[in-house]
Amino acid sequence: LGISLLLLSSDWWLPKVLPAVLRHWDVQVTSLERLDQGQWELLELEYAADGMVVRVDAMRVPSVWRYVRARWPAADVASLRVELRQLTVELCPAVATTPEPAAPDIVDQLNRVRLALSTYAAWLPALEIDQVLLRSEQGPVLTLHDLSLRDWQLALRLESPHVPAPMRVRADIHPE
């Protein structure tokens, strides 16, 4: 009964508590509002640690109650979506205290991402991001437009000063 009551009332209390909880993990949120469509909108999120600053201007996520209703018992998480307008990642200069590590193995990294996603696939809603900006102290590194990840299908448009022309990317990233 206690858990049910918490879930049923989460639209009321969680928007008031979540910013304080996120601050515990160094995530700042300017505001969190409940929307009529069973969604929450988080405005001006920022995470500054681990050699980077990550900013999101606006993020819409399903409310806990809507997520639970979609997940149980019908298991229809595909109807849910997380939407971001602009995600900016600024890489901070690292202080060299140890020797430079070897270049990462891209295939190994992709396999790790696939494994992590496959572990939680049944719980992950679709993801749509209008624009992702990756910057270093030297300037823009990469820009992704219209990123979509749904049912293991990744689609995006990529631009970079390091690539001669914009590219459309479509990939099935299913682990099998």
pLDDT of residue 105: 61
Q: Measuring CA to CA, which residue among 118, 169, 115 is closest to residue 147?
A: 169
pLDDT of residue 115: 79
* Tokens 């749904």 -> residue: 150
**Cα 149 from Cα 170, distance rounded (Å):** 10
CA atoms 16, 20, 10, 148: torsion sign: positive
Per-residue pLDDT of the chain (176 residues), as tens digits, is 677 787 778 777 888 888 899 999 999 999 998 887 788 999 999 999 888 999 999 999 988 878 777 767 655 666 789 999 999 999 988 655 555 555 556 567 667 777 777 777 777 889 999 999 999 888 898 999 999 998 888 899 999 888 889 999 898 887 76
Q: Is the pTM of this model over 0.85?
A: no
Q: Which residues pair with 39 in a beta bridge?
A: 35, 62
pLDDT of residue 155: 92
pLDDT of residue 79: 75
Q: Are 63 and 38 in contact (CB under 8 A)?
A: yes
CA atoms 172, 174, 175, 176: torsion sign: negative
Q: Which residues pair with 53 in a beta bridge?
A: 48, 90
Q: Measuring CA to CA, which residue among 63, 24, 30, 64 is closest to residue 44?
A: 30
pLDDT of residue 9: 80
Enclosing H/E stretch for 133: strand 126-136
pLDDT of residue 59: 96
pLDDT of residue 73: 63
Tell me whether residue 59 is exposed, middle or buried, using C-beta atoms within 10 angstroms of its C-beta: 0 to 12, 13 to 18, 19 or more: buried
Question: What letter represents residue 64's amino acid?
Answer: V
Q: What is the CA radius of gyration of the chain?
A: 18
pLDDT of residue 94: 66
pLDDT of residue 156: 92
**Cα 104 from Cα 84, distance rounded (Å):** 28
